[in-house]
Structure 1
Amino acid sequence: MAVIYCSISMRSHIGVAMVCMINATAVHEMAEQKVPKLNLLIPTATTEATPIEAQCSRHTLNQSEIVESGYKGTFLWSTEMQSLIISASFYGNFLIIWFTGYFCDVYGPRIVALIGVFGMSVATCLSPTIASWNYYVFFGLRMIFGLFESPALPSMSAMAARWFPPSERSTIAAIITSGNQLSASLGVVIATNLCSLHFLDGWPLIFYLAALIGFTWCILWGFFATDNPSDSKFLSQEEKDYLFEENGKHHQSSAERKQSGQKMPLKSMIFSKATFAVISAQFAFNFTNTMMQAYLPSYSRDVLVLDLKENGIFTALPFFIQLISKISMGIFADFLKRKQILSPTTSCKIFQSLASFGCGIIYAIMALYVDCTKTTEALVLLGFFGFFLGGAIPGSFTASLSIAPMYAGMIASFTLIAGAFGNILAPAVVGFFVEKVCGFYFV
């Protein structure tokens, strides 16, 4: 859970920081002087009323009101430049993601995760200085960050497959990935409050806090973590024997596989229907989740016309609800499997269907119904979005841990490749609709 929290905080909080870094008024005026074109955009604030904002009492802000609302940035980065910064870590992630599962299965998830989080922490710590110095160097730094971020999920998937029996995997999947929602709920509230501070202009503190948490995690992980339960100093022999019986006999080290002549069945995994199912679900999950995490602060500012503190609450709510939902659904799914009410396969299908159809319906309602006069309805819909999205954990994520436990790291790598396409495509889709559909941010 902690490694996912570190990873998501250091990646996605750039969305909150960007809201505070950019002089949105100046950027909007600059954009009006150019001929509109299709870009990979991140939505930017405007102080002029759109047709939707004209219905609101608070649609035009003077300079003092902008500062009071918390949006007091000084960077003059165009919408295209902002989008590239948001996407940079995904490009870096995409370059290395092909190999991370292999590294986890061959070298062990412990060292792979440690190197990844340490690299992310260093890059995050340097971000405020580099961003103030040169845009293009900052873009390169975010790409390097993405290289180190890639091992986080495969390493945790490999650890979960070794440390937890099949009957508990929906629950542990929910717990491990809870760092995502903690970062996107509690972390965002903290980030928006840091953003409003005058000390160091506020926004650099977001990066420094995330880096500090990352370095602290590295120290604790290096001391306590082991690749296999049999190597742990903190388990009894009875616990080690139980986990070996449940999991250990299905896991071989790279040296053991070489000695037995066993090769990784890469071709069979790639062309498996089960693999295709989980990577398709992961693409959809990353697409919707990235759109919500990266752009909800801008959506709350520009479409719902909220101030910075209200923005933090609206941004945090769906992920806080998702945290409760995914853990509850994970426990419930494991209960149904233990009682043999549902088979593991049926359980994954039902919960994944709930996530996919539910989130799709919520997005459609928000696009067609919500505007700045319906903030209460927007808050309720965001809560339901978080509830439905929680179903993906006992759904596709549990399936990815179960279809080939010995190669869980490699399967996770496949799902991350599909997810990376979703991460990269989301800004393009947002950019198209922001440019072409009169300010609607979610379609």
Structure 2
Amino acid sequence: MDQTEAKKPSFIFSVRFLMAFVMFFGFCLNYMQKIDMSIAIVCMINNTALKMSHSENHALTQKINDNFTILKNKSESSLQCPASLSHSKTKYDGPFVWEKSTQGLVLSAYFYGYIITQIPGGWLAFIFGVKRVIALSMGIGSLLTLSIPFFARLSYKALIGCLFFTGLAHGAFWPSASALWAFWAPVNERSRLVGLASSGSKVGSIVALSLGGILCVYGFDGGWPSIFYLFGTAGIIWSLILFFIASDSPKDHFFISDKEKKYILEETKKTANSQNSQKKIPWLEIFSSKACWSIFIGHFAHNWGNYLFLTQIPSFLKDVLKFDIKSNGLVSSIPYISCWIATTVSCFISDYLSKKTRLSRTTIRRIFCGIGLFCPAIAVIGLSFINCSNVILGVVILTLGVSFDAVNTGAGYLVNINDIAGPYSGILFGISNTIATIPGILSPSIAGVLTKNHSQKEWQMVFLLCALIYIIFGILSLVLLDSNLQKWSKIEKEETESKNKNVEIKS
């Protein structure tokens, strides 16, 4: 033990820690660009013109009734909505008169592209190198992000096309980033390195939501375009930094010490070899495995809530809780600060239960998957009854919902991928994330269709549907859940053992 500790180079002052630190900012920017449209759209829409266009479509008698209803609703909201009262003097209207259904299409366009490159992302990393794919994924996505204001001003159809290709570029980021750690993360440091890097996604949500609201009001070129210019420029700079600092493997890195290089190469022998070996992938076994379907179903349910929160929080805060744009961004970021904390804490609690108790790994995963699916269901049911008269309660429930949802990534289905799949974890992640991107397409679109009039009752339907998916899919996921290493994932082990026996016989 003493000898191995002596051989082990410093963790903090190391190239592998630097790689995790750089990737932290990569995940941060990836998520900032993923949700930039959901923030910007709040200040891109001309709600005044939209209401006027609605009223013009009615007959004269209907107009009178509608106007009476509007006046009545205004007087009621001024009595009941403290947020709208405090911000009533400030009104922000954007240049676009897009219906709610169109807004839903715009918000889901990114995910149509994103879903296509999930599985190919890992394959591209294997063929062309991890660093190149990650850098190009972020670089191309960032260039397209910079062009979003131009395409938005052309037409909403042009914007949908731009967002589709942005998602297409970004889709390769997560699978290729996952492949990176097969070569850079020693087994006993993997959770720390991967955890540090991927936690950037939560911080990206916090930064984007809080900064986006401020840029909407005080940014240049009309406010909202500055969100895309800033996030896109930062992504291009990061891509260049990654390209010059990172490498696919410690073997190729230009300033890593010999001591650290030897340590990493020795510790990652098995994972790097299994990554490089051209074995047949057990596709049939994966798709017929109950344990895999537990992950697919749990991931789908988690992402339905996750993408609903991610893309619709700003709209819900504006429509129902009556927050202005500046407050909207800051309040939207609060749940994600709590989300980051919940992810980190759940990791430590899960490891503690595994080491200090007699609970099986399957039981532990079942506990955290249950918390991560059923607790958010309770939260969104509560949220469906919230209106602008109880704003603080609404923000608290929203924060709890997002936080409990994050437990899945810290100690639930996401960790279970590594538990059951061994050397095929990357493939299983790509498949699962492909299926789990479907909610990114459906959730914003359905929310847009259901909330045409921006009313609390319409949002109630959105949240109750989300709760139903959490509960039904959650039950199915828990019933099928298994955290034991699957037989088909032991193929590599069996083959190496048989090879060793053949070598012994020959000698």
Q: Give the TM-score of the pair, scaled to structure 2.
A: 0.76
Deviation of 1:359 after TM superposition, in Å, equals 1.0
**Counterpart of 2:268?**
247
Matching of residue 84 in structure 1 with residue 105 in structure 2: yes
**Counterpart residue type for residue 411 of structure 1:** L
Aligned match of 1:103 = 124
User: Identity over the aligned pairs, expressed in percent?
Assistant: 27
Aligned to 1:411: 428
The partner residue of 1:280 within 281, 297, 321 is: 297
CA distance in structure 1 between the partners assigned to 2:249 and 2:77 by the alignment: 56
Q: Give distance in 2, aligned partners of 1:270 and 1:105.
A: 22
On the 8 A contact 1:167/1:338 being kept in 2, the answer is no
Q: Secondary structure of 1:95's partner?
A: coil
- Sort the Cα spacing of 1:120 and 1:90 in 2 relative to 1 into closer, same or farther, 3 A: same
Instruction: Describe the shift of the 1:353–1:180 C-alpha distance in structure 2 as closer, same or farther (beyond 3 A).
Output: same
Is contact 1:318–1:384 with CA below 8 Å preserved after alignment?
A: yes
C-alpha spacing 1:132/1:267, structure 2 compared with 1 (3 Å):
same
Q: State the match for 2:80 in structure 1.
A: 56
C-alpha RMSD of the superposition: 2.9
Tell me what 1:265 maps to: 282
Q: Distance in 1 between matches of 2:393 and 2:184?
A: 42
3-state DSSP of counterpart to 2:164:
helix
* Alpha-carbon separation, structure 2, partners of 1:272 and 1:243: 33
- Is the Cα contact below 8 Å between 2:84 and 2:322 reproduced in 1? no
Q: Does 1:145 align with 2:161?
A: no
CA displacement at 1:129 relative to structure 2: 1.6
In structure 2, runs of 5+ residues without a counterpart are 1-23, 59-68, 465-507
Query: CA distance change for structure 1 residues 134 and 55 in 2, over 3 Å: closer, same or farther?
Result: same
CA spacing shift, 1:170–1:271, aligned 2, 3 Å: farther
Q: Which residue of 2 aligns with 1:15?
A: 38
The residue number in structure 2 matching 1:42 is none
Q: Structure 1 pair 91/52, CA: closer, same or farther in 2 (3 Å)? A: farther
Deviations 1:306-348 (A, max 9, x none): 1222212221111111111212222333344455755544433
Partner of 1:136: 157
Question: Is the partner of 1:251 in helix, strand or coil?
Answer: helix
Which residue in 1 is equivalent to 2:399?
Answer: 383
Query: Deviations for 1:353-377, whole angstroms, at most 9, x for unmatched residues?
Result: 2111111111111113x11011111
Structure 1 counterpart of 2:343: 326
Q: Distance in 1 between matches of 2:414 and 2:126?
A: 18
Q: Distance in 2 between matches of 1:327 and 1:356?
A: 17
Moved more, 230-239 or 180-189: 230-239
Q: How does 1:29-428 map to 2 (within 5 A)?
A: 29-32=52-55, 49=73, 53=77, 56-57=80-81, 65=88, 68-69=90-91, 71-197=92-218, 199-252=220-273, 257-258=277-278, 262-339=279-356, 343-368=360-385, 370-393=386-409, 394-428=411-445
SS in 2 for 1:196: helix
Deviation at 1:302, TM superposition (A): 0.9
SS in 2 for 1:227: coil
> What are the Cα deviations for residues 56-95 of structure 1, in whole angstroms up to 9, with x where unaligned?
256989xx957x24x2211112222211111111111223
Worse-matched range after superposition: 314-323 or 181-190? 181-190
C-alpha distance 339-247 of structure 1, shift in aligned 2 (>3 A): farther
Partners of 1:222 and 1:194 in 2: CA distance: 29
Cα pair 2:146 2:229 within 8 Å, conserved = yes
Paired residues of 2:84 and 2:323 also in contact (CA < 8 A): no
By relative contact order (CA 8 Å, sep 6+), the higher-ranking structure is 1
Q: Contact 1:154–1:408 at 8 Å: present in 2 too?
A: no
Report how many aligned residue pairs link the two structures: 424
**Equivalent residue for 1:26?**
49
- Would the aligned equivalents of 1:174 and 1:326 in 2 still touch at CA under 8 Å? no
TM-score (normalised: structure 1): 0.86
Q: Are the structure 2 counterparts of residues 250 and 55 from structure 1 closer, same or farther at C-alpha, using a change threshold of 3 Å?
A: same
Partner-residue secondary structure (3-state), 1:199: coil
- Structure 1: gaps of 5 or more residues: 36-45
Which secondary structure state, in structure 1, belongs to the residue aligned with residue 147 of structure 2? Answer: helix
How far apart are residue 166 of structure 1 and its match?
Answer: 4.7
Larger Rg: 1 or 2?
Answer: 2
Is the Cα–Cα contact under 8 Å of residues 317 and 382 in structure 1 kept in the other structure?
no
**Alpha-carbon separation, structure 2, partners of 1:144 and 1:398:** 30
- 8 Å CA contact retained: 1:6, 1:214: yes
Deviations 1:199-248 (A, max 9, x none): 31111110011111101210121122222344434544454444445433
Higher helix share: 2
* SS at 1:200 equivalent: coil
Report the AA paired with residue 384 of structure 2.
A
